[in-house]
Amino acid sequence: MAKTAIVTGGSSGIGRALAVELLRLGVDVTIADIADAESTAGELGCAGARLDVTDAAAVADLVRGVKADRGRLDFMFNNAGIAVAGRTDELTLDHWNRMIDVNLRGVVHGVHAAYPIMVEQGFGYIVNTASLAGLIPAPLMLPYTTTKHAVVGLTLALRVEAAAHGVKVSAICPGFVDTPLLDHANPGLPQTEIGRLARTIGVRVQKRLYSPEAVARDVVHGMGRDRALIVVPTFARRAWSLVRLSPDLAIRVTRQATRRALP
Cβ atoms of 90 and 143 within 8 Å: the answer is no
- How many residues belong to the chain? 263
210 is catalytic: no
Task: Transcribe the chain into DSSP letters.
Answer: ---EEEEETTTSHHHHHHHHHHHHTT-EEEEEESSSHHHHHHHHTSEEEE--TT-HHHHHHHHHHHHHHHS---EEEE-------S-GGG--HHHHHHHIIIIIIHHHHHHHHHHHHHHHHT-EEEEEE--GGGTS---S-HHHHHHHHHHHHHHHHHHHHHGGGTEEEEEEEE-SBSSGGGGS-STTS---HHHHTHHHHHHHHHSSPBPHHHHHHHHHHHHHTT-SEEEESHHHHHHHHHHHH-HHHHHHHHHHHHHHH--
Radius of gyration of the chain (CA): 18
Catalytic annotation, pick one of 115, 125, 144, 210: 144
CA-CA-CA-CA torsion for 34, 140, 154, 72, nearest 10 degrees?
20
Catalytic positions, written as ranges? 144
